[in-house]
Amino acid sequence: MPNQNGSVYGLTILSPIINDERATPSHDLQIRNYLATVPTGEGSPFALAPGTHLARLVVMDDVIYVGSPSIEEHLHSKYLVFESNCDGDLDSYLLGLATAVPQHLDAIWSHCVGYPGAANPQAFAAYMKACQIETTFYFAAVNDKSVPETLRALQTQRAVSDFIARHQGMNAALLQAEFAQFATRLKSEPLPASGSMGPLRGLKTGGRNE
């Protein structure tokens, strides 16, 4: 079934961007401008709202003609593309977004045709579903676990790796006692915040290197 892969929902939304010649800067540029400043990591709206594995927002101006033998074609409108791999039921995911981060959603989607605003979560969800198209491809790194399960797994992986580093070579009896304590402590640790377990990369990326 499209849109659903195991427990993961694949959401793809194409929202037409308002085409108003009098708007300066144009609505598409205003979206680009806002997207350029949206925080990533723990401050990301998709970390503040529940249920997102990976989300992506792209302004699609047009299809680009790359020369013969392709055929020159154009879109009727500029579109905002929203792709998300998220947990479970679509309605509760959309309502969760509208409840948690309405100011971000409004700043982005208010430049789109027919957007009702996020103040009324039901209207927001209905609008998004009206713009939805089928998803058939998913982000390969998302497995069949929920976001909380994934966060817990990452936390466990990191903690166990640290435990091994601190305890390797210890005699078996002492190690077992230490491990029992560690396991109890780990179970009672709070779930790490969404967006907090990403890679710590000091490298500048981009260009033709990735």
Residues of the shown chain interacting with other proteins in the complex, contacts defined by CB under 8 A: 161, 164-165, 168-169, 199-205, 207-210
Which residue spans within the chain are E strands per DSSP?
Answer: 4-5, 8-16, 52-60, 79-87, 132-133
**If you search the block for the tokens 């797994």, which residue do you land on?**
153
Q: How far is the CB of 121 from other proteins (least distance, A)?
A: 37
Q: How far is the CB of 10 from other proteins (least distance, A)?
A: 23
Provide, for the chain, the percentages of residues in helix, strand and coil under a 3-state DSSP scheme, each rounded to the nearest 5.
Answer: 40, 15, 45
Q: How far is the CB of 201 from other proteins (least distance, A)?
A: 7
Are the CB atoms for 124 and 98 separated by under 8 Å?
A: yes
Are the CB atoms for 112 and 23 separated by under 8 Å?
A: no
Across the strands, what pairs with 58?
Answer: 81
Complex with other proteins: residue 1 or 141, whichever CB lies closer: 141
Are the CB atoms for 167 and 178 separated by under 8 Å?
A: yes
Complex with other proteins: residue 89 or 162, whichever CB lies closer: 162
Residue 16 backbone dihedrals phi, psi, to 5 degrees: -65, 135
Complex with other proteins: residue 69 or 199, whichever CB lies closer: 199
Q: Residue 157 and residue 50: Cα distance in Å, rounded?
A: 22
> Helix or strand or coil: residue 189?
coil
Complex with other proteins: residue 36 or 165, whichever CB lies closer: 165
Complex with other proteins: residue 190 or 202, whichever CB lies closer: 202
Q: How far is the CB of 175 from other proteins (least distance, A)?
A: 13
